[in-house]
Amino acid sequence: MIRFVPRERTPVWLTLTVSIGSGLAALLLTAIPLALTGAPVFTAFALMAAGAAGDGFALAETLTRATPLIFTGLAAAVAFRAKLWNIGAEGQLYAGALATVALGAGLIEAPSYVLVPLVLVGAAAAGAALLLVPVLFKTRFGADEVVVTLLMNFIVLLFVQMMLEGPMKDEMALGWPQSAPVLDEATLPKLVEGLRLHAGLVLALVAAVGLHVFINRTVWGFRIRAVGENARAARYAGLPVGKAMALVGILSGGLAGLAGASEVAGLKGYLTSDLSPGFGYAGIVVATLANLSPLGVIPAAIFVAGVFVGADSMSRAIGVSNYLADLVVAFALLSVLVGGLLTRFRIVLVRREAA
């Protein structure tokens, strides 16, 4: 019989070992289906590693891919901390992207030091507003936010398609449903000439540090932690539970909205309905890998981005489907969940007497 005995504190070496062990476990688990297909397992993983971090270009590509994942990872981390199960970062990302195009593609003409902040605030506001709907449904009507946020993803995507085929359609795009490009003044600058890496990464890093300080050091961060850990006791103590939840909704939705702004204004330059290959859902994986710590989101996002970038490169080289990346990420999520038990509990084997 196995018993879980809670740990009072977790040594740092154990946390690190478990994180690395979970990553290895994910690769091992992925190796099984990979080997079953007859693909060269070691070559495939070596190519993935090289594709993710083999040279400067690969690394830059990984960091570019990590940028939206940091935002959506933070969005999930802050929400899950407060036990607000926001599975709708995908939709909030699109809401932010839509706002970016609405504000940045010609509606307003202003110098970049005005337009860039405006676009970012607009995108965050759009994402936040979108999440406030399920938060309101939850607090007012007791409707489970998981289902509502999930279903809203589909509604938002349809809405984006509708806008791209209708009012926001770029007439110059030869019939493709895509938006007009954002103005140069609304574009986030490139970090290194010749690479796709853009200032969105800096914003993402600042957001991670900012969220870390906010959660751990401020009164509102304290209230959010208290409400998340035990909403009944928080209410009993007189903490503003509803406002804390709304604030979490604003932060989480806003961060997801920024992911959309960063992708449109930093990378793509315009909006299509396939802007995100599931960054919103991957954010949940990132946040879980990071154990919901804002600072931990940074390495977790880089890891997940590396897996995707590496798998694309591997797939081009040896023709193994890049859906392998999704498998690695799914296994990583489950491995980290199980590994988390090791950091939170001591696993004690209890001798069972012979019957």
Is residue 256 within 8 Å of 93, Cβ to Cβ?
Answer: yes
Nearer to other proteins, 275 or 284 (CB): 284
Distances (CA, A) of 144 to 9, 10, 84, 87, 136: 33, 33, 10, 11, 11
Nearer to other proteins, 110 or 159 (CB): 159
Is residue 68 within 8 Å of 93, Cβ to Cβ?
Answer: yes
The distance between the two most distant Cα atoms of the chain, rounded to a whole number of Å, is 81
Would you call 3 helix, strand, or coil by DSSP? strand
Q: Tokens standing for 82?
A: 């407060």
Nearer to other proteins, 117 or 277 (CB): 277
Nearer to other proteins, 120 or 234 (CB): 234
Distances (CA, A) of 35 to 22, 32, 45, 310, 312: 20, 5, 12, 18, 18
Residue partners of 17: CB distance under 8 A and separation at least 6: none
CA distance linking residue 187 with residue 116, whole number of Å: 7
Nearer to other proteins, 107 or 158 (CB): 158
Q: Which residues of 105-119 are buried (b: 16+ CB within 10 A; e: fewer)?
A: beebeeeeeebbebb
Kindly state the smallest distance separating residue 26's Cβ from other proteins, in Å.
11
Cα 231 → chain centroid: 25
Nearer to other proteins, 204 or 307 (CB): 307
Kindly state the smallest distance separating residue 145's Cβ from other proteins, in Å.
10
Kindly state the smallest distance separating residue 304's Cβ from other proteins, in Å.
11
Nearer to other proteins, 6 or 175 (CB): 6
How many Cα atoms sit within 13 Å of 182 on the Cβ side? 34
Kindly state the smallest distance separating residue 113's Cβ from other proteins, in Å.
27
Is residue 322 within 8 Å of 78, Cβ to Cβ?
Answer: no
